[in-house]
Chain A
Amino acid sequence: MLDRPLSPPPVEVIVAVTQALHCEARLLDNEDFDGWLAMLNEDICYRMELKSRRFRADRSPPLPVGPGVIFNEDLGRLKLRVDRLKSGFVWAEDPPNFIRRAISNVEVVARPAENEVRVHSVLIMHRNRIDGTTRVLTAARTDLWRGEGQAWLLAGRDIVLDHSVLPDSNLNAFF
């Protein structure tokens, strides 16, 4: 991907955005969902797609709504998910699962607008469920972060899971 302009964003921006990514992961690991929602921009678009396996030379046209959209959420929908998790009626999360997110390969790329950056990162999610089984998921994320006043807020996230078959029975977590 030719996403590498000649000059990188200022070092303070890179540090601030990288810190935001790590902070976000910690909030989610600790189930501080309100703290996480506060890091999201009003017009956030949060998407996840599952890949399908195709021949490199495949001649068929792309599917109209994409190969397997799992999340296609706005802020309202994300809030609804958080409400569900906080409802006290999610039996599969009680006792809680242990989730740990590791973020790496962070690449902050300048955008024409000064208060915006594109951010590539890799997520490894380790999930130890209430029945003792452990699942590990990896994903690539392409984000849009926007500087609003004092803070950088997440305005867009495209998640591509590195699995053609989901190795778990649900995706009861934010990525």
Chain B
Amino acid sequence: MRFERIGREPDYSRYMDLKEGWLDRRIFSDADIYEEELYRIFARSWLFVAHESQIPKAGDFLTTHMGEDAVIVARQADGSIRVMLNSCPHRGNKVCFADAGNTRRFVCNYHGWAFDTAGDLKGMHEEYCYDNGDIDFKNHGLKNVAKVSSYKGLVFATFNGDAPSLEAWLGDFRWYLDMILDNEEGGTEFIGGCIKSVMSANWKFGVENFIGDAYHAGWTHDSGCRSMNDGMPFPPIDMEYSYHASVNGHGWEFGTEGVGDLVLLGRPKVMDYYNKIRPKMAERLGEMRSKIFGSVASASIFPNVSFLPGISTFRQWQPKGPMQFELKTWVIVNKNMPDDIKEEVTKGVMQTFGPGGTFEMDDGENWENCTTVNRGVVTRHERLHYRCGIGRQIEHDTLPGIVYRGQYNDANQRGFYQRWLDMMTHDEFGKMPTRPEPRLGNVAETRDLPGLFAL
């Protein structure tokens, strides 16, 4: 399915030169470019919509957005998950105003059209007013998205019937994702609720911060780090054994020291827990990944999900116009953790990366002001510098993806904007380049891959 937009078709490649390492500021505030992002990126990508644990039982639902389109995500009686537009086919009213819950029916407030949790129209108030032939119930349900799929607990949906499989979309990035989703038997769950806040910033600033910007931490979060660590600033980064890895616009930046993010979380019991399971983790995921987990690290899944493995904050940047996004944050834990460790993780996340967290508080205003100050008609034509570490690409025997040496780098950010450009300029998914060529192939289960550990 294609959603066409009538209007100008500019050449987006003039907004960046990633070989040189610069971006045009207009991609962070221009209304036309933003509209085009909604069509070309959000209406065509696989988008995160839920963690399976948020809707465990039949009738459980939550409401969220795919781009600016409001959707309902609902668990069916057969255990499957449906994702449908949260908009009534009668006059378009929003059908469900609750954030989450459990229900048998969604009933529209306007004229009482009633839908089951699959979105099928089941009846309405004063049904007799429709004569035979006036309405075909089958074609007037809540519009379901084209595809729903999940990867180790994360549920994704897409409006794009031509989208590749979710496995192919995530590609080799699954090798990295498994470090947070599959580091222990039983997988993960979201715990507690969702915290939402709104920021006057372009959504891409949040994504690019988490995809690769380890560089900002030591300066932006100086006060937070010192208050958490007896006045000590961030320790220096090991530029030799830390990396950026980019796959199809997804990205993970990380060290290999194994403890940095766990220290920042500030909950010693959680550190002990992971140290205890680390040998098992090494059996499960291999030596390399068991060393990466817990290190200073951050990651984003293209286009708009981010998380801190080890610190356990999981988030989504929902676009709300060129200069605004809604940030949704959750806490992700291993399902098999004892309850007191889950509680410790939750406390740690709120104290560091909740909206009142000692680190989180420093970030938002930077992104807001990176966005709003670019309104100036002269300012907006100036370029931004994205060249850090541009010559440090390496081939690595173990690490998949486009790998750069040194955690302080703009490499993953460049990879993200490369994918952005690929999607903005390619009409057909099939013609879009895969960056880099995958090592894993498109199999569904990464853990059972023959030879995975030898990669």
A-B pairs with CB below 8 Å: how many?
Answer: 140
Q: Which of A54, A90, A165, A171 contacts B356 (CB 8 A)?
A: A171
Mask of A49-74 contacts with B, CB within 8 angstroms, 1/0: 01011110011100111111111110
Most buried by B among A60, A67, A130, A164: A60
**CB-based contact B103/A55 at 8 Å:** yes
Residues of A within 8 Å of B354, CB to CB, are 69-70
**CB-based contact B198/A165 at 8 Å:** yes
Residues of B within 8 Å of A66, CB to CB, are 192-193
A63 to chain B, nearest CB (A): 6
* B200 CB-CB contact with A under 8 Å: yes
Query: Which residues of A, 160-175, contact B by the 8 Å Cβ criterion?
Result: 164-172
Q: List 6 A-B contacts (CB under 8 A).
A: A53-B99, A54-B101, A60-B60, A91-B223, A166-B196, A170-B362
* B365 CB-CB contact with A under 8 Å: yes
A88 to chain B, nearest CB (A): 8
* A32 CB-CB contact with B under 8 Å: no
B270 to chain A, nearest CB (A): 15
Mask of B169-199 contacts with A, CB within 8 angstroms, 1/0: 0000000000000000000000111111111
**CB-based contact A70/B364 at 8 Å:** no
Query: Which of B110-118, B344-352, B433-441 is the interface stretch?
Result: B344-352
Mask of A92-134 contacts with B, CB within 8 angstroms, 1/0: 1000000000000000000000000000000000000111010
* A83 CB-CB contact with B under 8 Å: yes
CA of A172 to CA of B194, assembled, Å = 19
Interface residues on A, range: 35 or more
Mask of B330-364 contacts with A, CB within 8 angstroms, 1/0: 00000000000011001100110011101011111
With A80-B358, A169-B199 given, can you name 5 additional A-B contacts, CB distance below 8 Å? A50-B193, A80-B228, A85-B223, A131-B365, A169-B355
**CB-based contact B98/A55 at 8 Å:** yes
Q: Which of B99, B351, B362 contacts A92 (CB 8 A)?
A: B362
Q: Ordered nearest first, which 6 A-B pairs have the shortest CB separation?
A: A169-B364, A166-B197, A84-B227, A89-B223, A67-B193, A171-B356
Q: Which of A73, A83, A91 contacts B227 (CB 8 A)?
A: A83
* B237 CB-CB contact with A under 8 Å: no
CA of A161 to CA of B342, assembled, Å = 25
Given contacts A53-B97, A65-B191, A65-B343, contact A70 B356 (CB under 8 A): yes
Q: Which residue of A lies closest to B60 (CB)?
A: A60
* A26 CB-CB contact with B under 8 Å: no
Q: Which of B191, B195, B362, B367 contacts A91 (CB 8 A)?
A: B362
CA of A113 to CA of B291, assembled, Å = 54
A96 to chain B, nearest CB (A): 13
Residues of B within 8 Å of A48, CB to CB, are 356
Given contacts A55-B101, A69-B192, contact A80 B198 (CB under 8 A): no
* B369 CB-CB contact with A under 8 Å: yes
**CB-based contact B98/A91 at 8 Å:** no
**CB-based contact A169/B350 at 8 Å:** no
Q: Which residue of A lies closest to B55 (CB)?
A: A60
**CB-based contact B372/A58 at 8 Å:** no
**CB-based contact B364/A71 at 8 Å:** no
B370 to chain A, nearest CB (A): 11
**CB-based contact A54/B98 at 8 Å:** yes
Residues of A within 8 Å of B198, CB to CB, are 165-169
A76 to chain B, nearest CB (A): 11
**CB-based contact A170/B192 at 8 Å:** no
**CB-based contact B192/A68 at 8 Å:** yes
* B24 CB-CB contact with A under 8 Å: no
A residues sitting closer than 8 Å to B (CB atoms) are: 48, 50, 52-55, 58-60, 63-73, 77, 80-81, 83-85, 87-92, 129-131, 133, 164-172
**CB-based contact B192/A58 at 8 Å:** no
Interface residues on B, range: 35 or more
CA of A50 to CA of B346, assembled, Å = 15
**CB-based contact A54/B197 at 8 Å:** no
Q: Which residue of B lies closest to A88 (CB)?
A: B223
Residues of A within 8 Å of B346, CB to CB, are 65, 69
Residues of A within 8 Å of B351, CB to CB, are 72-73, 77
Q: Which residue of A lies closest to B346 (CB)?
A: A65
CA of A60 to CA of B362, assembled, Å = 36
**CB-based contact A171/B355 at 8 Å:** yes
Residues of A within 8 Å of B442, CB to CB, are none
Given contacts A50-B195, A170-B361, contact A60 B350 (CB under 8 A): no
**CB-based contact A87/B365 at 8 Å:** no
CA of A70 to CA of B220, assembled, Å = 21
Given contacts A90-B362, A165-B198, contact A84 B103 (CB under 8 A): no
* B222 CB-CB contact with A under 8 Å: yes
**CB-based contact B223/A170 at 8 Å:** no
Residues of A within 8 Å of B364, CB to CB, are 168-170
**CB-based contact B361/A64 at 8 Å:** no
CA of A52 to CA of B195, assembled, Å = 8
B364 to chain A, nearest CB (A): 3
Given contacts A71-B356, A87-B226, contact A170 B194 (CB under 8 A): no
CA of A73 to CA of B227, assembled, Å = 15
**CB-based contact B365/A81 at 8 Å:** no
Q: Which residue of B lies closest to A67 (CB)?
A: B193
Residues of B within 8 Å of A130, CB to CB, are 365
A175 to chain B, nearest CB (A): 9
Residues of B within 8 Å of A81, CB to CB, are 227, 358
CA of A63 to CA of B190, assembled, Å = 11
CA of A60 to CA of B80, assembled, Å = 19
B379 to chain A, nearest CB (A): 15
